[in-house]
C-alpha cells in the first residue's frame, strides 16, 4: 500500500467528516485540552485489517500520540480482543474516532470474507483473487484488505493488463480478431486475458496463444471437461456465479485462479468499537 497515497486519502476522509471543525469537541476541549486513553476492541471474530490505518491516521494529527498495537494486519481477532490502545488528546481521539473505525471495520470485513472464501475452497494450489468490483476511491485499501485475508490481487485498473470480455469480443467480431488488434499496438510486457463461455471460444483463445483464459459462468464439471485442452503455459481462471456457499464445488477444478467479486463488494463490516478509558494523570 502506497504510504503517500494512503496519507492523501486519510486527509480527504478527515476533511469530509470534520469540515470546518468538530463543534462538539471544540466546545468541550478547546479551553481544556485534556489527555486520555482509548482502546479498540473486537466485538466479533474475524480477520483484522487496519494496522497501517492506525499508524498513519494518528500521525497526521500529533506525532507524539502513543499507539500500542496488540494485533497486526491479517491476525485473527475474537470477540473481546483488544486490538490497540492510543494515548493522546481527547479532542484528537474523539474527532478521529468515526473515520478510523469506518475504515478499519470495512477493511477487516473484506479480510474476513476473503479468509472465509479461502477456507471454503480448501485448495491452496488455487489462488483466490479479487476483481475491480471495488468502492470507487478506496480500491487500494480494499485490495490491501484482500491480501490481509489470504487472497491475491487481480489487476488494479484498466491500465494493468488487457482483458477481452464478451462485449469487447462482440464489438470487434471474434476472439482472434480482437487479440490480433491489441497485439499489433501493445508492448510485449502487457499480458492478454480472454473471457470464454464455451468450447469454441476456448479453442479460439488457445489458437491466439493468449496469456490467460477465464472460464466465465461455467460449472466445475464443464470447466474440467474442456480445460485439458489448454496448454500448460496459459494461466487459467474461473469466475462468475461463484459464491461462498458453492466455492467448495470448485476445489477440484484444475484452474490456477478463482476470481470473486463478492469478497469486496458484499463483505459486511467487522464490528469493532472504540472506548475511552481513564484520563491521563
| Active site (catalytic) residues | 98, 133, 165, 195, 216
Question: Going by C-beta distance under 8 Å and a sequence separation of 6 or more, which residues neighbour residue 165?
Answer: 195
The answer to whether 164 touches 214, Cβ cutoff 8 Å, is: no
Half-sphere exposure of 257 (CA within 13 A, CB side): 22
Radius of gyration of the chain (CA): 23
How many angstroms separate the CA atoms of 120 and 243, rounded?
10
How many angstroms separate the CA atoms of 146 and 157, rounded?
16
Question: Going by C-beta distance under 8 Å and a sequence separation of 6 or more, which residues neighbour residue 36?
Answer: 87, 88, 89, 90, 93, 276, 277, 278, 279, 280
Q: Measured between alpha carbons, how far is residue 149 from residues 5, 67, 118, 238, 243 in Å?
A: 22, 23, 8, 20, 16
DSSP 121: H
Amino acid at each position: 500500500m502506497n504510504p503517500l497515497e494512503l496519507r492523501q486519502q486519510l486527509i480527504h476522509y478527515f476533511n469530509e467528516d470534520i469540515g470546518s471543525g468538530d463543534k462538539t469537541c471544540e466546545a468541550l476541549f478547546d479551553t481544556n485540552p485534556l489527555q486520555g486513553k482509548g482502546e479498540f476492541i473486537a466485538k466479533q471474530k474475524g480477520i483484522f485489517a487496519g494496522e497501517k490505518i492506525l499508524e498513519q491516521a494518528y500521525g497526521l494529527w500529533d506525532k507524539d500520540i502513543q499507539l500500542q498495537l496488540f494485533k497486526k494486519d491479517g491476525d485473527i481477532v475474537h470477540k473481546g480482543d483488544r486490538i490497540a490502545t492510543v494515548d493522546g488528546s481527547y479532542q484528537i481521539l474523539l474527532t478521529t474516532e468515526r473515520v478510523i473505525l469506518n475504515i478499519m471495520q470495512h477493511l477487516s470485513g473484506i479480510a474476513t470474507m476473503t479468509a472465509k472464501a479461502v477456507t471454503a475452497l480448501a485448495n491452496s494450489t488455487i489462488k483466490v483473487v479479487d476483481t475491480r468490483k471495488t468502492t470507487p476511491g478506496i480500491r487500494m485499501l480494499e485490495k490491501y484488505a484482500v491480501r490481509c485475508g489470504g487472497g491475491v490481487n487481480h489487476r488494479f485498473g484498466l491500465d494493468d493488463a488487457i482483458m477481452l470480455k464478451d462485449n469487447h469480443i462482440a464489438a470487434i467480431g471474434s476472439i482472434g480478431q480482437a487479440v490480433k488488434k491489441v497485439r499489433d499496438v501493445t508492448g510485449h510486457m502487457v499480458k492478454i486475458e480472454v473471457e470464454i463461455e464455451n468450447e469454441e471460444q476456448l479453442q479460439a483463445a488457445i489458437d491466439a496463444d493468449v496469456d490467460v483464459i477465464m472460464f466465465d459462468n461455467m460449472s466445475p464439471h464443464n470447466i474440467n471437461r474442456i480445460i485439458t485442452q489448454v496448454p500448460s503455459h496459459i494461466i487459467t481462471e474461473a469466475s462468475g456465479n461463484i459464491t461462498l456457499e458453492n466455492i467448495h464445488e470448485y476445489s477440484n477444478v484444475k484452474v490456477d485462479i478463482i476470481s470473486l467479486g463478492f469478497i469486496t463488494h458484499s463483505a459486511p463490516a467487522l464490528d469493532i468499537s472504540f472506548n475511552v478509558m481513564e484520563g491521563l494523570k
